[in-house]
């Protein structure tokens, strides 16, 4: 069994940030912040971007004690018919122990994450809602991400973000299950046009996967001690293949989290 990701922890309280630079929107306002219409070349040059593409600038002081790579300073967005382009600028070189996210602000939303995976920074899509949102490309090609010192640019498929249409967005980073810090920033509603989005075919591995796997069947859940349990489940099937399994934990204090693979011995039967 393979554990895919470990950076799964969301803030229990979401604080809307109204920046004077952009102004504040009322709850009943349907229009979102305008997103530039352009195609960005993901090459680490960043010359395709301009100040008009910036939708967030950190005006709220130091976050995460100003630890290197843990304070989001700027967020940029652009779009064309099929893609959303996402750029994040940090206060210093990216922290390889952190995951950097863009997506829906709610705990059960779809989001894209840039993180270190098997020694390489990559970008992937995540959905922990249980609502089976259609994500065609969970793992995006390496060419969809470019990292340079304190910033990165990434290309995302609009199709995989379409469940967020009309929702609030956020950008944040944290260290996962045992996080010592989270820099979380509300972006509000964004004017992303999904009308021309098509099902992507260029995924990591060369093909898209639009069909979810069969639901996992639990065999037993046994309490082993006051702070540990044993979970046994039947292996599931998928038309493309099953890459791994995730175990989620819910607490009133922290909400839904993914069990850190450093603190769990996950097996299947």
122 neighbors 114 (Cβ within 8 angstroms):
yes
Q: Is residue 45 part of a domain?
A: yes
From 92, 56, 59, select the one nearest 76 (Cα to Cα). 56
pLDDT by residue for the chain (269 residues), tens digit each? 333 344 333 333 333 333 333 333 334 444 678 999 999 999 999 999 999 999 999 987 788 888 999 999 999 999 999 999 999 999 999 999 899 999 998 867 899 999 988 788 999 998 866 665 678 888 899 999 999 999 999 999 999 999 999 999 999 998 876 677 889 999 999 999 999 999 988 887 654 555 667 778 888 888 888 878 888 888 877 665 565 676 777 666 555 556 654 444 545 44
- Residue 31 near residue 23, CB atoms below 8 Å: no
12 assigned to some structural domain: no
For residue 53, being part of any structural domain is answered with: yes
What is the SS3 assignment for 97? coil
Residue 171 structure tokens: 């950008």
Of residues 231, 196, 207, the one with CA closest to residue 217: 231
Determine, yes or no, domain membership for 16: no
Per the domain annotation, does 227 fall within a domain?
no
The two tokens of residue 198 are 């098509």
Contact 110, 126 (CB under 8 A): yes
Q: Is residue 19 part of a domain?
A: no
Is position 230 within any domain?
no
Could you tell me the residue range of the domain that residue 167 belongs to? 33-210
Q: What is the CATH number of the domain that holds 72?
A: 2.60.40
Residue 245, domain member (yes or no): no
Q: Count how many domains the chain has.
A: 1
Strand partners, 264: none
């Amino acid at each position: 069994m393979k554990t895919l990701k470990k950076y799964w922890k969301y803030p229990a309280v979401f604080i809307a940030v109204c920046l004077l630079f952009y102004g504040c929107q009322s709850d009943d306002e349907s229009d979102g912040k305008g997103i530039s219409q352009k195609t960005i070349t993901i090459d680490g040059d960043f010359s395709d971007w301009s100040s008009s593409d910036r939708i967030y600038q950190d005006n709220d002081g130091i976050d995460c004690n100003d630890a290197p790579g843990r304070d989001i300073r700027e967020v940029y967005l652009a779009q064309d018919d099929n893609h959303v382009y996402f750029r994040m600028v940090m206060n210093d070189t990216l922290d390889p122990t952190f995951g950097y996210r863009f997506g829906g602000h709610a705990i059960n939303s779809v989001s894209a994450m840039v993180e270190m995976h098997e020694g390489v920074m990559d970008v992937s899509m995540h959905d922990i809602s249980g609502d089976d949102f259609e994500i065609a490309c969970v793992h995006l090609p390496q060419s969809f991400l470019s990292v340079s010192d304190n910033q990165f640019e990434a290309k995302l498929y609009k199709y995989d973000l379409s469940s967020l249409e009309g929702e609030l967005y956020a950008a944040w980073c944290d260290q996962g299950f045992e996080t010592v810090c989270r820099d979380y920033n509300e972006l509000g509603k964004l004017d992303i046009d999904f009308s021309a989005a098509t099902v992507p075919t260029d995924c990591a591995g060369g093909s898209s996967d639009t069909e979810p796997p069969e639901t996992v069947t639990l065999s037993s859940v046994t309490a082993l001690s006051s702070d540990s349990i044993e979970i046994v489940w039947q292996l599931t099937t998928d038309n493309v293949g099953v890459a791994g399994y995730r175990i989620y934990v819910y607490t009133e204090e922290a909400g839904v989290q993914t069990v850190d693979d450093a603190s769990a011995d996950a097996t299947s039967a």
